Amino acid sequence: MSPLSAARAALRVYAVGAAVVVAQLLRRRLRGFAEPVFPQQRERVAIVTGGTDGIGYSTAKHLAKLGMHVIIGGNNEGKAEEAVRKIKEETLNDKVEFLYCDLASMRSIQQFVQRFKMKKIPLHVLVNNAGVMMVPQRTTQDGFEEHFGVNYLGHFLLTNLLLDTLRESGAPGRSARVVTVSSATHYVGELNLDDLQSSHSYSAHAAYAQSKLALVLCTYHLQALLEATGSPVTANVADPGVVDTDLYRHVFWGTRLVKKLFGWWLFKTPDEGAWTSVYAAVTPALEGRGGCYLYNEKETKSLAVTYDLEFQRQLWARSCQMTGIADVTEEVFWG
């Protein structure tokens, strides 16, 4: 990617971020951020990736407060130990634990799923939350561009490997749920099926936006497959807004400075950013409903191209090839 194209990609990403920040400020001024009230979720089990800090930590904490058995998936055992301890203390819920899962490694994801299934417990909620943001050009252990590999492909593989347990755990009127965290950045994303690894040119901003766009496309196709097979599982996308977390450590220094000085005022807190994910995971209003893009606990429209069924199918097929997952699309829709 030429320097000019990279600059344009960065400007698009920052423009979207600025627009979201302005919307958040207006909402806080007019209505404030009132913490939602959700029904208790005792006897239900959730997995939250990236639950050691930021939005993921807050999501895990809120679900534990509701009585869920919460399993945090992450790749930092030191952080995880502290996160589990703090959540247990704050929520008085002893059913909070950690299982190692490095989304940059397909083998690690497979091992995580094996360890989880050995517990012989159900799975009612999967929150695909973990991610990297605007990192320098580098690859995962399996050779995938890091944004695409961690943010998208890792969760694609994890979700597919856990689908059988989600199906077994869901029931009519009490569906299991897949909640995938995307971003408003997907609105300026472009997905090139001929260069998903950004190998011909690289822009951290474009790669990040592409990964978030891929998550939306994938979620919609997954929901279509679930509906076609009558599975008691739903799949939705949660957009947390612009949140004050450590993900910004790789962004432009000027943005980091603004965040440091004014983040408390301009950005959502991690707790506020987590509310849409928690809403998608537990609200009765979404029982049996999938294929939604949710922002501030309300359904809204995602980028127009995300509703392109053929584009969804093509990305899904390519993702199956990359991860070794069987593509059942033709069997399900055309039998």
The catalytic residue positions are 208
- Residue corresponding to tokens 């009490």: 174
Dist. CA 276–CA 103, nearest whole Å? 23
Query: What number of other Cβ atoms are within 10 A of residue 96's Cβ?
Result: 24
The whole-angstrom distance between residue 69's C-alpha and the CA centroid of its chain comes to 19
Q: Quick one: 252 exposed, middle or buried, by C-beta within 10 A (0-12, 13-18, 19+)?
A: middle
CB 24 within 8 A of CB 241: yes
DSSP per-residue letters across 203-265: -HHHHHHHHHHHHHHHHHHHHHHHHHTT-SEEEEEEE--SB-SGGGGGS-HHHHHHHHHHHHH
Dist. CA 170–CA 163, nearest whole Å? 10
CB 325 within 8 A of CB 318: no
Start-end of H helices in 31-154:
54-65, 77-91, 106-118, 146
